[in-house]
Structures are given as structure tokens and as C-alpha cells.
Amino acid sequence: MQIKFTYAQKTVYEMLATREVNDISVVHLCRTLKCSRHAFYKRFDNKNNFLTLCLIQNIHDEMKKHKKRGVNESVYYLLRHLQNDRMYYENMGRLLKRTCICTLLKDKLHEMIWNKMKLDDEVARVLVKEMTDIIYVHLFFWLKHHCDKDMRKVYHQVESVLNRLNHMSTNAAFIEKLRLENYHYLWGHKEFED
């Protein structure tokens, strides 16, 4: 039987969102997904590959819901989603502890914010990437410590970064000023030198 990813993703979400899971075998996954091991390995490299794809798709689906919202609102709703589905994300963290998904998650967050900014400038891209990394550090720390804090506190910690991003997206002169004043030395990027 062929595995439909949306079904598999939803099934894994339901399995991980309700109770603590410290380990899961491919056999258990196959039984839950009603597929053979052969079908599983034909579609996915391994268990961690499958779980990582589920995690990334879950975050992507959540971000898609807020496509028309601004940067601040989108990050706020992402935080709310992470807090509401805390058990799922904590389980994924435990199950994927040997697989570094940091870069994937950072890239996904950067992509979401960059797409909302609607800018087409390399200096802006570098700035957005750096500011997104700051936001990611706050999110990662918050999740790593079991989301003990209310997500609104985390939002307020990153709100100043979000406001800078909004200023940058609405003020083209700001980016040009950075370019003219050679702020690239602060970032260490020689490609911006004239």
C-alpha cells in the first residue's frame, strides 16, 4: 500500500499531540500508518527523515493560515500555535534529538518573514536573515525549555526585532542609507562594499 503523506502527517500529529512519547519505532509507525516497512522505506529515507518532513510540513501549514497577516501577527500566531501544540513539538524534539533540524526551521522562519516583507535587495536579505536568527534563538530557547513561559512574554521579547523588520519593509530609504553608510562592516559581508 502506498503512503499518502498528508494522511501520514495527520496520523503522526494525532499520535504525538496527546501524550508524551520518548521513542517510536518504524514498526510502530508502519502499524499506525497501515503500511508495510517496504512502502515506508520506499517513500522515506528513515524514521528521522519522515518525522522531520512531518514537522516542517506542520509548521508550513500553520504559516500558510496566516499568509495575509503582517509579520508581527504571523509570528504571534506561530507562537500561539507552538504553545497550543506544545506536546507535539516537545515529542518531536525528543524523537529528533540526534537530528539537527535547526537550519531547516531557521530557513522556514526566514522564508516566511522574507516573503511577507516583499523586498528585493541583498542588503535587506542579510538584515532579515540576521533578525530572523534572533527571533529563532528566542523561539528555540522557549521550546527547549518546555514552553514554561507564556507565549506573550516571548512575543514581547521579539517584538522590537519585528518592529525593525516592519520599519525596513516600509522605508526603502533606510536600506539605502545602510548601503551608503557602509554598514556592511557591522555584518562582515564584503560583497556590499562599493
72: cell is 508581527
Query: Is the model more confident about 104 or about 165?
Result: 165
pTM for this predicted structure: 0.79
Question: Mean pLDDT lowest for which of 56-60, 115-119, 172-176?
Answer: 172-176
Residue 113 near residue 166 (C-beta atoms within 8 A)? no
Residue type (1 letter), 14: E
Q: How far is CA 88 from CA 94, 100, 101, in A?
A: 10, 17, 15
Architecture of domain 5-192: Orthogonal Bundle (1.10)
CA geometry: angle 32, 33, 38, nearest 5 deg:
115
Q: What is the pLDDT of residue 192?
A: 45
Q: What is the DSSP string of 127-162?
A: HHHHHHHHHHHHHHHHHHTTT-S-HHHHHHHHHHHH
Domain edges within the chain: 5-192
Residue corresponding to grid cell 497501515: 34
Q: Residue 177's Cα: distance from chain center in Å?
A: 31
Q: Which among 119, 149, 145, 150 has a CA at the least distance from the CA of 132? A: 119
Q: Which of 41, 66, 175 is nearest to 121 (CA)?
A: 175
- Give the pLDDT of residue 146: 62
Average of pLDDT values for 12-30?
Answer: 93
Per-residue pLDDT tens for 72-109? Answer: 999 999 889 988 998 998 899 889 887 777 788 888 88
The Cα–Cα gap between 181 and 72 comes to: 28
